Amino acid sequence: MNRAIIRRMTSSARPEQVLIVDEDPDVLDLLSRQVLEPLGFRVTTAESAGEAIQQAVGSAPDLIVASLDLPGLSGKDLLVALRSQGIEVPVLVTAEAGREADAIQAFRLGARDYLVKPLREAEVLAAIERALKEVRLRHESEQLSVQLADSARQLEQRVRELTTIYGIGKAVTLITNQRELFDKLMQSSLNVTNADMGWVLLLDDDRGQLFLRAQRGMPRALVGKLHQPWDDGVSSLVMLSAESLNIHAEGLEQFKIARFAKAALVVPIKARDQAIGVITVAREQAKAFSEPNQRMLEAVADYASISLVNARLFQALTGRAEQLQEVVDETRTGLQDQVAWVERVRKTLQGLHEQLPGLLESSENPSQRKRLLVLTTDLQTLLKELDQMPHLQAAPSSN
């Protein structure tokens, strides 16, 4: 076989190791230094079967080329010893011409090929390539099996993650009570990350500070800070970057939470790409959170963002409704100017009507959307009736 072809084959993958076992130093030199090493093979040599067995057990060669006429234990004894040790390595046997009967016995003991001495380079290379082709195919098959098993594990893990996060999202987005929402967020965050403790910090827009809104598993001394301003030192960095932060061991030592945690994962709760708070989970041991842990917690934070934004919108709607009720109550108890009263009512209703499309767009709760649609229809009808009232048609419009 052409040496250039062999060189391309051996250089395309990891260097393959060949163990040469022969009683003749000249044969060892020929095969190792002159033939195989220039082609990129890693070559080890042995002059006896005992030495060869030790090397085969210790270094696991890809191929063995062994003489049948070794001193002490013969080449056939070497084949038997390798099989008894469970060493599955292809073996090429070499012998002088006229040893066909011994060669047949060697084949029965597991030899892959038989080379006649004096050895010729082309025949040696051809036999080695035939034997190593099978080894390469086996290695490729093993690697493929490992890759398939790893892909199957990753797929199974991803399915579990998606199933878990779907259940969390369904539960969280249906909660309207903030206390229940925070309790569910804490429970979900610890479950998906296997953390020892966790907390939620939300930004108070008026004060510009982070407030501790929920916690689970924190030290008793910090539990008393619930609903008060508190900054763990790490969350402020995440609020600025709006990017998750996974930190443990030495990297955490400069922050105050290092007093009670050795690993922390902080993910932002975002609204319109702006951080409005963070969810933090922590461990008492310096065991870093994994990438799947971070991915799952970020999904929980996304659901938290949807729920919190929806809550704020509904609070705004409730506030406008309360304003309308106040106007109605005032006019019932003594408002004398009917035109002014109706105009105020119309403006309030109009403002409420203008907010409804935004609420409809952001809401993912079917029952909430249904109620909002009914409210939209009622407001449209009421505004139409107000506009058709004679006293409003006669009065100058401010819009």
Whichever domain contains 53, its CATH number is 3.40.50.2300
pTM for this predicted structure: 0.45
**Domain count of the fold of the chain:** 3
Look at residue 11 and tell me whether its pLDDT is greater than 90.
no
Domain boundary among 141, 164, 196: 141
Kindly state whether residues 205 and 269 are assigned to the same domain. Answer: yes
Kindly state whether residues 278 and 211 are assigned to the same domain. Answer: yes
Whichever domain contains 252, its CATH number is 3.30.450.40
In a domain, 159, yes or no: no
In a domain, 164, yes or no: no
Residues 230-258 pLDDT 10s? 988 899 899 999 999 999 988 888 898 89
Kindly state whether residues 93 and 50 are assigned to the same domain. Answer: yes
In a domain, 105, yes or no: yes
Domain encompassing residue 202: 174-303
Residues 100-142 pLDDT 10s? 888 889 899 989 999 999 988 899 999 998 888 888 888 788 8
The interaxial angle of helices 178-193 and 121-173, nearest 10 deg, is: 160
Residues 165-209 pLDDT 10s? 677 666 666 666 677 778 888 888 898 899 999 999 999 888 889
Kindly state whether residues 316 and 299 are assigned to the same domain. Answer: no
